[in-house]
Chains A and B, each alone.
Chain A
Amino acid sequence: MASQQREAQRAHFRKRATPYAYMAPTMIWLLVFMIYPLIFALVMAFKKFKLMKGLTLWKMPWNGFNNFIDAFNDPYFLLSLEKTVIILVVAVTIEFLLGFLIAWLLNKKQVRWDFIWIALILTPMMMPLIASGNLWRMLLDVRWGAVNAVVMFLGFKPIDFLGTAKWALPAVILVEIWQWTPFVVITLLAGLRSVPEEPREAAMVDGASHWQTFTRVILPHMQGQIMIVLLIRSMDVVKTFDVVYALTFGGPGQSTTVATFYLYRQAFTQFKLGYGAALSWLIFIMVYLISYVILKLFRRQESAT
């Protein structure tokens, strides 16, 4: 009787434990490679890192909120946030509008062999970010770059895209747009193709104009894809690093020093690891807030429709 009971208990335990056993590798991976570094960075953000003491957390003196206070008093960090916001607003807006336009054109029935166009459009997205940065560094060169060859062909003076503060940030934005508009195209094209024909035809039969059909029928159906595009692109733009690293190295002056690049220089060139950790948390909070606002806006829109 007792052995039967034990057997039943064991079976019960096995049944309950099996899902956890399956999940364990993933959980361990998450804990070691995601949760632990996050907690480590959080603790470090409140510590003062001293090179000679090594990376042992408990040997580092507490620094309270000083790293965060320093960040808000650091004019270069605030300037880097400003640059990041400019890229975010300009690049994401242009990518969205341009991407929507291309997706709309590709969705036309008259477009033949659309798969070829899609494959071509996706090419920039397939390139490693650092490679595209280097490629554009050559293309935008003031003396032998292809872009300036076109500028001069059109009768204008060559533009020093990478060597002047006025043009360097637009150059970074240009590369962002070139590389990531394809992502917008492919996502919105999927959205456009998922809009059912019936409501569209019904709207037309009811006398709705093209604009009305677009705003009242097509856009509401594509809300999910639009939200994904804005969410992912906004998060990515705040984390822009590779392009700046390869294209301008943050210069001239501070003109293209975006928040992540500034963080990198502080943490890994100056080895202010405590301060760098605080900056990374501030950037993380910024990404989180942007995502929250976008999600909230779309939820509100969803419940309204």
Chain B
Amino acid sequence: MKRICLVLCVLAGLFLVAGVAVAQDVPKGVKVAGSPEVMPTTAEIQKAVPASLVKMGKGKTIRIMFQGGGDSAPPEEQKALVEKLTGLKLTIDVIPPENLHEKQLTFFLSGQADYDLLELYPTWIGEYAEAQYIENLDSLNSKYGQELNTKDFIEGAQVGFDKYKGSWYAVPYDGDVNMFYYRKDLFDDAKNQADFKAKYKYALVPPKTWEEVRDQAEFFTGRTPGLYGFGTLALKTWWAADYWANVYRNRLVADGVSFDNGLVNDKGVIELNKSAFVKANDFYMGLMKFSPPGILSWGYPETKEGIGNGVVAMTLQWATSVFRDPRQAKYWDKTYGVPMPGFKKADGTVKAVTSFAVGKGLAVPTASKNKDIAFLYAQFLASPAMQIYATNSGSGVDPNRYSVWKDQRVKDVWGPLVDPTMKSLQMGIGDIKVPQASKLYEALLNELHRSWSGEQSSAQAFDRTMTEWNKIMKE
């Protein structure tokens, strides 16, 4: 017995030593999410609570549905403070991301009116708004607009995220946008630069075009053992279709096709273009040849690990500061970002666009009995102080206010990613927002994934998507 205990103790000790050895310390002087010096003070957060909420909140209870993961962390962490200041009682329900839509629809359909605020993806706004499940926030906005300071929201983010047919339906919460990331050390390496130039006859610089991405992906694949050129989220979830849209929409721009979102616009017009679809999808599949094996099962964690821990040289991802955090990424100080590359137009110029890709807003259900209070609480969550708190606490909720991106504390945590993220937020294109959006994405994803897995060609994927989409829109 003694011997067994001894062996177990030795093993536990070894694990502890190994754990300490593996965990990367935060180097001195580096400011990371959660450090006290980058967090807003309690006084700042108290000041962000709208005066009207303090007046109206006492004795009231509001129930909020949040997506799980980091999104619910800021409101939960500030719950006690808000309750103390306002006398309001907050009930926060956390739902896994993959079930959020069905939970919300079930709540709407069952007719139960016990939610006052819902976190939602912009792509559902049309569906909810047309069914009158969520409140048109224009009147509340004009009533309390000064407290929300809507002018501070980045215009692209406002329109892309939370407006439908010209009206506000949600308060901006998470300012996600797609960005292009690369490993700066690999691009700066003198030997890599020389070898690349010798092979491709141009300099190895952060890509501005998808043609360059392709060459660079080919170049870096196998450059060092286990390194691949490019890898991004391609698991069979609708986000994968949104990521793919970055290539497709840029193909549309290069081909001179005018479009609203390139898929189905807010008026319900199908904008899918066969030539651009086929070219973009063939290109995307070609790029996947320089991805690690198993790319079709890469979800968010794999994509994050991929660039952060040196599996891929380049990736396509949501805006995030986790790549700048030594505790979360081995190459934290070498991962840089640029706005989304485009394709070269016939005249040689490049104009790029990017996908807003699933940033989130806060909507008030029409069935709520506490609409004003819910709206004011949403305002508090979208306030500059709370946006700084949310991003700098490492929740993954990204800012979408000019003032927040200019805040030194945010710059300290995001480092060189601030500028490309700001630019990306201004050139973003929103998701499909018509009421049939989830059906349309499902059909598109089905066909894209079948082509990526080799079950059909890009042209077949387009034809089948169109057949399904026409059917869906007719319904």
User: How far apart sit A158 and B292, CA to CA, in the bound complex (Å)?
Assistant: 12
Known: A52-B130, A269-B102. A163 touches B295 (CB 8 A): yes
> Is B224's CB within 8 Å of the partner chain A?
no
Per-residue interface assignment for chain B, residues 446 to 475, with 1 indicating a CB less than 8 Å from any chain A CB and 0 otherwise: 100111111100000000000000000000
One of B104-112, B170-178, B180-188, B195-203 at the interface:
B104-112
> Is B296's CB within 8 Å of the partner chain A?
yes
Per DSSP, chain B at the interface is helix
> Is A288's CB within 8 Å of the partner chain B?
no
Known: A252-B452, A271-B438. A143 touches B236 (CB 8 A): no
> Is A249's CB within 8 Å of the partner chain B?
yes
Tell me which residues from 99 to 123 in chain B have a Cβ below 8 Å from any Cβ of chain A: 101-102, 105, 108-111
A253 CB contacts on chain B under 8 angstroms: 449-455
Q: Is the CB of B235 within 8 A of A269?
A: no
B109 CB contacts on chain A under 8 angstroms: 51, 54-55
Q: Is the CB of B235 within 8 A of A249?
A: yes
Q: Is the CB of B453 within 8 A of A255?
A: yes
Q: Is the CB of B296 within 8 A of A143?
A: no
> Is B442's CB within 8 Å of the partner chain A?
yes
Q: Is the CB of B293 within 8 A of A76?
A: no
> How big is chain B's contact interface, by range?
20 to 34
User: How far apart sit A141 and B301, CA to CA, in the bound complex (Å)?
Assistant: 13
From B110, which residue of chain A is reached at the shortest CB distance?
A55
Known: A51-B105, A164-B453, A252-B236. A269 touches B127 (CB 8 A): no
User: How far apart sit A137 and B301, CA to CA, in the bound complex (Å)?
Assistant: 13
> Is A248's CB within 8 Å of the partner chain B?
yes
Q: Is the CB of A254 within 8 A of B455?
A: yes
Q: Is the CB of B295 within 8 A of A76?
A: no
User: How far apart sit A101 and B452, CA to CA, in the bound complex (Å)?
Assistant: 41
From B472, which residue of chain A is reached at the shortest CB distance?
A270
Known: A54-B111, A269-B101. A252 touches B131 (CB 8 A): no
From A265, which residue of chain B is reached at the shortest CB distance?
B442
Q: Is the CB of B454 within 8 A of A271?
A: no
User: How far apart sit A248 and B450, CA to CA, in the bound complex (Å)?
Assistant: 14
Max count, chain A CB within 10 A of own CB: residue among B111, B295, B449: B449
> Is A133's CB within 8 Å of the partner chain B?
no
Q: Is the CB of A271 within 8 A of B105?
A: yes
> Is B388's CB within 8 Å of the partner chain A?
no
> Is B348's CB within 8 Å of the partner chain A?
no
A272 CB contacts on chain B under 8 angstroms: 439
User: How far apart sit A51 and B446, CA to CA, in the bound complex (Å)?
Assistant: 22
A137 CB contacts on chain B under 8 angstroms: 297
Known: A269-B438, A271-B105, A271-B438. A251 touches B449 (CB 8 A): yes
27 chain-A/chain-B pairs, Cβ below 8 angstroms: A51-B127, A52-B131, A52-B132, A55-B109, A137-B297, A141-B294, A142-B292, A142-B293, A143-B292, A143-B293, A143-B311, A160-B294, A162-B294, A163-B297, A164-B296, A165-B455, A249-B235, A251-B235, A251-B236, A251-B449, A252-B452, A253-B451, A254-B455, A255-B455, A265-B442, A268-B102, A270-B442
Beyond the given A165-B455, A249-B236, A269-B438, please list 5 additional residue pairs across the A-B interface where CB-CB is below 8 A: A55-B111, A142-B293, A160-B293, A165-B454, A270-B439
